[in-house]
Amino acid sequence: MTAPASIPARSTWLQRFLLPGFAFKAVVIGGGYATGRELAEFFLPSGPVGGLAAILLAMAIWSLVCAVTFSFAHATRTYDYRSFFQELLGPFWIAFEVAYVLFVVLILSVFGAAAGAIGAATLGLPPLVGTLALAAAIALVATFGNASVERLFKYVTFLLYGVYALFVVLALTRFGDRIAHAFTLPAPTAGWAMGGLTYASYNVVGAVVILPVMRHLTSRRDAVIAGVVAGPMAMLPALLFFICMVAFYPGIAALALPSDFLLQQLRIPVFHLLFQAMIFAALLESGTGSVHAINERVAAVWRHRRGVDLSHRARGGIAAALLILCIFVADRIGLIALIGSGYRYLAYALLAVYIVPLLTLGVARLIRHGDDASADGVSEPA
């Protein structure tokens, strides 16, 4: 069994119960969530009421899958996604890696496109400037490993919750009557379950992206609590933002940046800038989490073969190579096309190679071996 690079001697309650939720929120909130584009794509087609039902369904799925994922990772002592899927899928672990690499290319491309759109909408900059700024920031944070990434998750969480809370207060003050009226309008609700399932399926991969922070868990109880809490922690900002969006339903569903449209309706330039800065910070933590997972996968193999940790320079190089590829994809395709087409196909792939095996094989193994699911042994890195 391959041990993580370092296991803390003592974990705080924040590290055990809240840090996994902070990290999961960091990965899923990304470009489409923070800008409102994903909410428009997967929830608004079912109308205000159907959209709320879909959001609650997605939140419940996240909590369930996170709780099982965290429990399996703790029991098998697998703190990078490669080791985790070697335990879960055996020789078929490579199927997840293929899906995950495609997932990372897609979401980093979405983040890059979103950063470019924000820079253009807020500061009038060429889209490539915002994309490059985000890429440089992700590479910088990812270079310095676990401690750097965990600090980012913690501090951006406080910024993000604070800004979203203020946004909701301002929105209710300025167009709360429109929100209330929207929930009384006749609207289609068909398809809400599929929208919630699809959205939850491709985003729940964040539960394995953040496996490095699971090293703080001390028991199966910690894992279950952290997993159950992670769903609401990640979905609460989306729920509040969706409620604000329905004030301008259905027209807002066609916009590339629903957040920018709503901010224009508030007519508070200083808050507009603050909100866009928060979105950039959300893109930064999401992109960093995805790149860091790949760094940790490589680092586990590197430690096994060389007996030393992966250097900061190597981590930075891996991050830079990934980001350069994704900047090209983002520049060529654009935000709406990336979210509208790529995410649905990835959802099906991740259902097949992650969620279904986890909730069948993974649960059966946890039941069979109790709190020590590692009894069968952990595959060596290769």
Per-residue pLDDT of the chain (382 residues; tens, 9 = 90+): 444 444 455 778 888 899 999 889 988 887 567 778 889 989 999 999 999 999 999 999 999 999 999 999 999 999 988 899 999 999 999 999 888 887 787 778 778 877 887 788 778 888 888 888 999 999 999 998 888 888 888 888 889 899 989 999 999 999 999 999 999 888 787 889 999 988 888 788 889 989 988 988 999 999 999 999 999 999 998 999 999 999 999 889 888 778 889 988 999 999 988 988 898 898 898 889 888 888 888 888 888 788 788 888 888 888 888 888 776 665 565 555 555 556 677 778 888 999 999 999 999 999 987 655 554 444 444 4
Examine residue 175 and state whether it is found in any structural domain, yes or no. yes
Question: What is the 8-class DSSP label of residue 299?
Answer: H
Residue ranges making up the domain that contains 253: 13-355
How many domains is the chain built from? Answer: 1
Examine residue 371 and state whether it is found in any structural domain, yes or no. no
Domain CATH code at residue 99: 1.20.1740.10
Nearest Cα neighbor of 257 from 275, 230, 232 is 275
d(CA 252, CA 262): 9
Please give the distance of CA 18 from its chain centroid, rounded to a whole number: 15
Examine residue 249 and state whether it is found in any structural domain, yes or no. yes
Examine residue 364 and state whether it is found in any structural domain, yes or no. no
- Kindly report the pTM of this predicted structure: 0.82
Examine residue 361 and state whether it is found in any structural domain, yes or no. no
Examine residue 172 and state whether it is found in any structural domain, yes or no. yes
Examine residue 380 and state whether it is found in any structural domain, yes or no. no
Over the range 2-22, which residues count as b (16 or more CB within 10 Å of their CB) and which as e? bebbeeeeebeeebbbbbbbb
Examine residue 7 and state whether it is found in any structural domain, yes or no. no
